């Protein structure tokens, strides 16, 4: 099984009870779900993910604890209707890891990777929405530049958008990565196409809107005294989480548990370099 990010911290902040009911809103390949299910011996874990293919892998990875896991394919915006279907009003805790799953990044056929040739898809649910190829090949240059700048926080967005438009049609993920690398120089460790790929993925999957839905719904999904734990990987997401948690605390609806953002220890980063940019925030509902 893949290594879930900040798993010890997630378990600590959720303050698990053996008979509790917990919602993993982003089950991915099942890492956090398994860690929770292993400890909730008399309770239940709801493993939710919008990616049916990842959820199938999660089922296999968590088969040992399947008797106390309920698997649900769905988006954040559908969470409020998921619980009643399962006969539940609220849960004792919720965790959401906003990162892309290892499977999505390493399967070339999904189009998320800039290091392997694949179709420019990037949809987490391939039954809905439009693939990234439609945006890359048909959006106006200014709209493309705005998207890359706002969602990818890429300062060289105009230059990248201009290069993409001139190179159309963009055939696949490697072609796109190559066009961007030819337009802007590498700075630091990151491939120059990293932030553009991230922006496209966020846009294709409406990740910003989905996070807004999660932050709006989560407080009503969790019982008084229950915990909400969210792991983000981008400053754009972390700012949204921080502001929502602060607003809930100011309104007397919750107590912030993480005075400062929690990041992975050096040992975890050495073991799993992908965890380097992870940021965890947690709060307890009043």
Per-residue pLDDT of the chain (286 residues; tens, 9 = 90+): 567 999 999 999 999 999 999 999 999 999 999 999 999 999 999 999 999 999 999 999 999 999 999 999 999 989 999 999 999 999 999 999 998 877 777 788 888 888 889 999 999 988 888 999 999 999 999 999 999 999 999 999 999 999 999 999 999 999 999 999 999 988 888 899 999 999 999 999 999 999 999 999 999 999 999 999 999 998 989 999 999 999 999 999 999 999 999 999 999 999 988 889 999 999 999 9
Question: Six-digit token pair at 259?
Answer: 């005075």
Structure confidence at residue 2 (pLDDT): 62
Tell if the pTM clears 0.85, that is, is over it.
Answer: yes
**Between the CA of residue 214 and those of 83, 210, 234, 244, what are the distances in Å?**
14, 6, 16, 11
Complete domains list, the chain, with CATH: 7-103+209-285 (3.40.50.150), 126-204 (1.10.150.170)
- Residues 6 or more apart in contact with residue 3 via CB below 8 angstroms: 31, 271, 272, 275
Distances in whole angstroms, Cα of residue 127 to Cα of each of 73, 74, 131? 12, 12, 10
pLDDT of residue 171: 96
CA-atom Rg of the chain in angstroms? 19
């Amino acid at each position: 099984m893949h290594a879930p990010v900040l798993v010890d911290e997630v378990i600590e902040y959720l303050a698990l009870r053996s008979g509790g009911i917990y919602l993993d809103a982003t089950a991915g390949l099942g890492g956090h779900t398994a860690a929770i299910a292993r400890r909730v011996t008399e309770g239940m874990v709801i493993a939710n993910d919008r990616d049916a293919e990842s959820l199938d892998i999660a089922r296999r990875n968590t088969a040992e604890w399947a008797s106390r896991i309920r698997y649900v394919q769905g988006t954040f915006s559908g969470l409020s209707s998921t619980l009643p279907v399962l006969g539940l009003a609220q849960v004792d805790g919720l965790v959401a890891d906003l990162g892309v799953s290892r499977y999505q990044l390493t399967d070339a056929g999904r189009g998320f990777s800039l290091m392997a040739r694949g179709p420019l898809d990037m949809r987490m649910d391939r039954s809905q929405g439009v693939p990234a190829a439609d945006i890359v090949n048909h959006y106006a240059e200014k709209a493309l530049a705005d998207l890359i700048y706002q969602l990818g926080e890429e300062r060289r967005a105009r230059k990248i958008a201009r290069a993409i438009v001139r190179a159309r049609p963009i055939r696949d993920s490697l072609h796109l990565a190559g066009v961007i690398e030819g337009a802007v120089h590498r700075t630091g460790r990151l491939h120059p196409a990293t932030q553009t790929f991230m922006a496209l993925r966020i846009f294709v999957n409406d990740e910003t809107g989905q996070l807004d839905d999660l932050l709006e719904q989560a407080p009503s999904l969790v019982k008084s005294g229950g915990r909400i734990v969210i792991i983000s990987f981008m400053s754009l997401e972390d700012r949204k989480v921080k502001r929502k948690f602060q607003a809930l605390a100011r309104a007397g609806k919750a107590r912030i548990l993480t005075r400062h953002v929690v990041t992975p220890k050096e040992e975890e980063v050495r073991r799993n370099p992908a965890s380097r940019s992870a940021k965890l925030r947690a709060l307890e509902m009043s």
